[in-house]
Amino acid sequence: MIAALIALKRKCPGLWNRVEDVNGLLFRIRYRRLPEKATEILKRREVAGYRYSLLEEMDLPELNAFLNAQPAENLIWFHPHLFDAKTLRRLWRNPAFLMMQVTAPDGRMAGYFFLRGFFIGRAFAGLIVDRAYQNQGIGTAIWASCAEICHAAGLKMQATIAPENQPSIKSCHRATEVRQIADLDDGYMAVQCYPKK
């Protein structure tokens, strides 16, 4: 299933966009309270001056600048979607794509993360932390937040991680209960994550 979705997204982007639109409509019906639950959970993550929140439409230009300012080495394993303004606005408007951010005490965006939901009861997580704010536990807090949000909404949380991306693997294991479910053709592994007990 995961491999098929990834292949569709890469080989037929036009068809993938239509699938996302239909999925968004169905997802909104089944998981209409997801943003509300996510907001409650993210508020509890606010520590040491870092704020975890849903991305608002007015935040999209900052997200666009944040993603396009990341050095190439910070994007080696992060390419879930295009970073242009049109794509970000389309994703933000899709009810199945929950976009979130971490704001540092200095007001700058320190991280971006998302849950790409599917009406069949799954959500794929993705995250990136700005190099200047890495090694401060932000990634771990993001993984934990995503797992808690999915659990509260009744979604199975999944992610794809490159085995070479050891910081992300360690962070994911610190924050969640992890089970590997598949090895993908592109070398990534698919994992399922649950909140820590």
**Domain span including residue 16:** 2-195
Q: Which residues of 30-60 are buried (b: 16+ CB within 10 A; e: fewer)?
A: bbeebeebbeebbeebeeeebbbbebeeebb
pLDDT above 90: residue 25: yes
pLDDT computed for residue 154 by the predictor: 97
Number of domains in the chain: 1
Run of H or E including 195: strand 189-195
- Tokens representing 117? 């939901």
Identify the CATH number of the domain in which residue 149 sits.
Answer: 3.40.630.30
Residue ranges of alpha helices (H) inside 44-137 are 60-69, 85-93
pLDDT computed for residue 2 by the predictor: 57
Strands 122-129 and 156-161: parallel
The fraction of the chain above a pLDDT of 90, given in percent, is 78
Q: What is the mean pLDDT of residues 98-103?
A: 98
- Alpha-carbon distance of 142 to 140, in angstroms, equals 5
pLDDT computed for residue 79 by the predictor: 86
Task: Kindly write down the DSSP assignment for every residue of 151-178, as one continuous string.
Answer: HHHT-EEEEEE-TT-HHHHHHHHHHEEE
| pLDDT band of 8, cuts 50, 70, 90 | low
| pLDDT band of 127, cuts 50, 70, 90 | very high
Gyration radius of the chain's alpha carbons: 16
pLDDT above 80: residue 160: yes
The fraction of the chain above a pLDDT of 70, given in percent, is 95
pLDDT computed for residue 52 by the predictor: 97
pLDDT above 90: residue 186: no
